[in-house]
Amino acid sequence: MLTQEPHSGQIQRMDLQKVHPTTRTIPPFLYRVAILWGFILAALFFALISYGNTAGPSDPPPETAFTKQVDGVSEINTSSGWELMMAVHPKCPCTVASVNELQHLLDQFGDQLKCRFLVYHPADTDAAWIEDGITPRLSEIPQASIEPDETGKTALALGMQTSGAVVVFDSQGIPCFHGGITVSRNHEGDNLGVRAISMLLQGKSPPITSTPVFGCRL
């Protein structure tokens, strides 16, 4: 008895089905999960950008010579010219960028500018509390002094409420600039603060005398 062989086209279709089984459709809920996850990632990204560009609190320093207004601050040596004070929280990672920007400034004007770091530490803690973090980096800066500032009292009296804030005084102790010297949190690069201070040190009048401060609150 003769049997009829199946058509060659049918054989090919059967073979393809074995090699490439029918593709399963993706459940609709997986699409919703993927979309939700995308929204979460986007929200986190924009939150990070917003955080990096949100300035900390800052007030202007006393308008008159600071040595007459703030207790516990030694007088400026008028023969030294300009002096810059920076408020530093030793545990603040954002302040690293501020210190690096200051170093770039000193590379150009180190003979005209002295620095004083007011290093925050909580009440009832000794000097060892400030010895880690960024403090060792501060000690590498020439012509700079490091002064422990319990609860940030001195910095706050000068209007500096955020780590990385600076105040620049002339030889008479008159504040001529206050603010930050980074463009955002922990971000180095060209910024208005460094430009303004550079102009002061060159005997010019900067168009601005204050800038936002990006860092951790004292």
- Tell me the pLDDT tens digit for each residue of 20-76: 555 567 777 777 777 877 777 777 666 666 665 677 888 999 877 555 445 555 554
Residue ranges covered by each domain of the chain: 25-54, 66-201
- The conformation of residue 187, written as its DSSP 8-state character, comes to B
pLDDT of 214? 93
Token couple for 210: 């204050």
**Ranges of the chain with pLDDT below 50:** 1-3, 68-69, 76-78
Q: Is residue 59 exposed (0-12), middle (13-18) or buried (19+ Cβ within 10 Å)? A: middle
Contacts of 87 (CB under 8 A, 6+ apart): 118, 120, 149, 152, 155, 158, 160, 161, 162, 163, 164, 165, 166, 218
**57's tokens:** 């609190």
pLDDT for 51 equals 60
Give the CATH H-level superfamily of domain 66-201. Glutaredoxin (3.40.30.10)
* Confidence (pLDDT) at 146: 93
Report the pLDDT value the prediction gives residue 145, as an integer from 0 to 100: 92
pTM of the model: 0.75
What 3-state DSSP class applies to 119?
strand
